A and B are shown apart, each in its own frame.
Chain A
Amino acid sequence: MSDTDSETQVFRPDDQIGGMSLAYVSTQTIPASHSPVSTSGPIAWMREKMFSSVSDTIVSLISLAVIILVVTSLMSWLVTNSVWTAGSLAECREIDTGGCFAVIVVRFSQFMFGFYPSELYWRPILAFALMFVAAAPLLHDTLPRKMLFFSAAYPLLAYWLLWGGSVWGIALFVGALVLTFVIWQLLKGFNMAIAAIVAGLFLVLWFMFAQGSVTSFIDNTIGFVGLESVESSKFGGFLLTFVIGVTGIVASLPIGIMLALGRKSNLPILKALCVGFIEFIRGVPLITLLFVASTLLNYFLPPGTSFDIILRVLIMVTLFASAYMAEVIRGGLAALPRGQYEAADALGLTYWQATQKIVLPQALKISIPGIVNTFIGLFKDTTLVSIIGLLDPIGIMQPIRSDSNWNGIVWELYLFVGLIFFITCFTMSRYSMYFERKLDTGHRS
């Protein structure tokens, strides 16, 4: 039926049919009125759901009383009677009866930065802010692609900002990376495996023997240019959480993808290595790995080796997350219809072309909920480092509570730390849902 057809059939009340006025037809529409209060709206809803019988009414009233009681006492503890400026718990108790949040105010910088020198707080703050700039082009495809160069440089920049040190060291590091790449390019035509081994060996040897001494040599001859260095032992609080969490998240995804592909590979040795690694790491609790990092490794390293504890923890956490990530992505790979792989083969694509253009984009999209789940789990697992004596937000509560000024405070500290974790994790989860909707190109049939 066409539009013109329907138009001709519209009946207008004020039309006169056959020249005769139809007086009994209303000339205007009666305005819609609200439905009766008793059948819809909040009152009706309450009547139906909460007060429809005697027993319902009793239960509702009791529940209401409990809710009011809980909310008011919580509000009085959290808001009306809480204390935000005081020098000790005893002072708090003198001032008011509510929560003593003054401890958060007084120790705020310790919760955020641990023992990081206060005059250098701008460095972690800047690194944190730049993290969003670096993440932006990865998270939103509308931004200019050139920003990806900044994202690639960000890990080095963040390392330099947080730990400080000579700018020559960073330059040498970049130089070593470039040189490694050149070696790889030169030898690649000759033999891939040898090229990889030589390039890898060069990089490892450079770090074990040359990096430190060459850096100090340049520092001494040309002069030190850079930021004041800060030791790992000064890191604490949420700074530590974010360093471990973000590094783990960023590094575990590519490693996890490689492991997942390796596990599905046809090359027997590669496959065995990947399966062995994944199963071993998944079979061991994270806390065991952390203990290995903090205590066992010490016995095997010469004393005074500056293989610092945060780096050791970072490696362990990353390996742990990678194994889980690999399994999540393997799930995505397995969910992909067989036809996709065969179609790629039929088009004559090489393994890497097929993986890059057909398999991974689809498999990763399927895996997003699992990937973000692993991210959030990893972020929260960072609190385990408090068990090996690192002072993350949970760990740093202990020395704060031991100060006789604040001894006896429990809930306020946990509440604060919990709140920050909730904000971070909730943001991640919301973003992943947005991302899923955006990528939903409709494969449901």
Chain B
Amino acid sequence: MKTKLLTLALGTAALAFSATANAATLDDVKAKDFLQCGVSTGFPGFAFTDDNGDWQGFDPAFCRAVAAAVLGDASKVKFTPTTGKTRFTALASGEIDMLARNTTETFSRDVDLKFTFAPVNYYDGQGFMVRKDLGVDSALGLSSATICIQTGTTTELNLADYFRANNMSYEPVPVETNAEAQEKYLANACDAYTTDASGLSATRSAFENPDDHIVLPEIISKEPLGPLVRQGDDQWADIVKWTILALITAEEVGVTAGNADQMKADSTDPNIQRLLGATEDNYGAMFGLDNDWALRAIKAGGNYGEIFARYLGTETPLGIERGVNALWTDGGLMYAAPIR
């Protein structure tokens, strides 16, 4: 009986605490005066440490934008490195306020694990890399090839689906990490290496002779990546969502980190004025922030295009084309709902 009571008490306490965790993340963040952001323990282009030991990359850039919008200072972020196994519990338990860790949005993660996904900030998909001298220029030519594949990931299932759908066979060479895959592929242990296209570009860019290898044009899966927050705190979810949309909008209307202040003062375009808080609409106040939230987010690391170019774009060693991640006006999928 006593143990039952104890269990009950513990359970109630845990429930009570988790309930408080779901309430007003914004107030918590403002009270502690920093944003606790979960990132990857390391993914080329998306999260890495620089020589000074600071976290850099596409995902930390979005954490900084949110911190700038909410707290007025892009440096008020503390990063928690999370692994594929710890990321969801870290978010669900309230250890982190948001998770920006190239996480694919899926039905079960949204519905069953009870998270709310912010808009997708990178559309990825699974692709193949082969050596040029293999003479293959399409994934359909990979019949009975040996393929290096990371075990226990969705990529493994996607690969099986794709080959079955096309009546082809393959021989999997299981690997544990990207680094291991790199070594195996270079040692000719497999004809092709398959993972997300962004990862393939990163891997290829690290080779001694990247030009000897090509990434095949076929993308065999959909991997929409974006930040996520706990379900049940709509205000906080809105803040993260609209910070991303503001960065995309800024690219659409040509506001950059460099010209944002000047645009706010000079621009007569009502879209820009609303975005940068030059009007009397007070959009920021509607979710508990001030009028300059988007201005600060943009000044933190630039608009969406600038962030992409800095960490992933063709000027970086990764050399990833915008492709589907271009603005809708350029034939891509980045399409921000209007701020009005």
Which residues on A are within 8 Å of B, measured CB to CB? 89-90, 93, 106-107, 109-110, 114-115, 231, 233, 291, 294-296, 298-304, 386-391, 395-396, 398-405, 407-408, 410
Bound-state CA distance A110–B42 (Å) is 14
Q: Which residues of B contact A295 (CB under 8 A)?
A: 86, 89-90, 93
A106, A399, A410: the one within 8 Å of B81 (CB): A399
Known pairs A386-B41, A403-B50; list 5 more (Cβ under 8 Å).
A291-B85, A299-B14, A391-B81, A402-B40, A405-B317
Report whether B93 and A410 are in contact in the complex, using a CB–CB cutoff of 8 Å: no
6 A-B contacts (beta carbon < 8 Å):
A114-B53, A115-B53, A295-B89, A304-B94, A403-B44, A404-B45
Bound-state CA distance A301–B90 (Å) is 13
Is B316 interfacial (CB-CB < 8 Å)?
Answer: yes
Q: Which residues of A contact B82 (CB under 8 A)?
A: 389
Is B182 interfacial (CB-CB < 8 Å)?
Answer: yes
Closest to B206 in A: A408
Q: A403-B48, A404-B44 are in contact. Are A388 and B206 (CB under 8 A)?
A: no
Report whether B179 and A389 are in contact in the complex, using a CB–CB cutoff of 8 Å: no
Bound-state CA distance A291–B56 (Å) is 27
Closest to B318 in A: A404
Bound-state CA distance A107–B21 (Å) is 37
A89, A106, A298: the one within 8 Å of B95 (CB): A298
- The count of residues in chain B whose C-beta lies closer than 8 Å to any C-beta of chain A is 50
Bound-state CA distance A302–B19 (Å) is 10
Bound-state CA distance A387–B83 (Å) is 7
Report whether B316 and A303 are in contact in the complex, using a CB–CB cutoff of 8 Å: no
**Interface residue ranges of B20-51 to A (CB < 8 Å):** 20-21, 28, 32, 40-51
Bound-state CA distance A400–B81 (Å) is 13
Report whether A407 and B205 are in contact in the complex, using a CB–CB cutoff of 8 Å: yes
Report whether B83 and A389 are in contact in the complex, using a CB–CB cutoff of 8 Å: yes
Which secondary structure dominates where chain B touches chain A? mixed
Closest to B316 in A: A404
Chain B: minimal CB distance from A255 (Å): 25
Q: Which residues of A contact B21 (CB under 8 A)?
A: 303
Report whether B78 and A403 are in contact in the complex, using a CB–CB cutoff of 8 Å: no
Bound-state CA distance A398–B83 (Å) is 11
B53, B179, B207, B316: the one within 8 Å of A401 (CB): B179
Chain A: minimal CB distance from B8 (Å): 14
Closest to B41 in A: A398
Report whether A300 and B14 are in contact in the complex, using a CB–CB cutoff of 8 Å: yes
Q: Which residues of A contact B44 (CB under 8 A)?
A: 401-404, 407
Report whether B90 and A404 are in contact in the complex, using a CB–CB cutoff of 8 Å: no
Chain A: minimal CB distance from B215 (Å): 16
Chain A: minimal CB distance from B233 (Å): 12
Interface readout for B144-179 with A: 1 if CB under 8 Å, 0 if not? Answer: 000000000000000000000000000000000001
B32, B40, B182, B205: the one within 8 Å of A404 (CB): B205
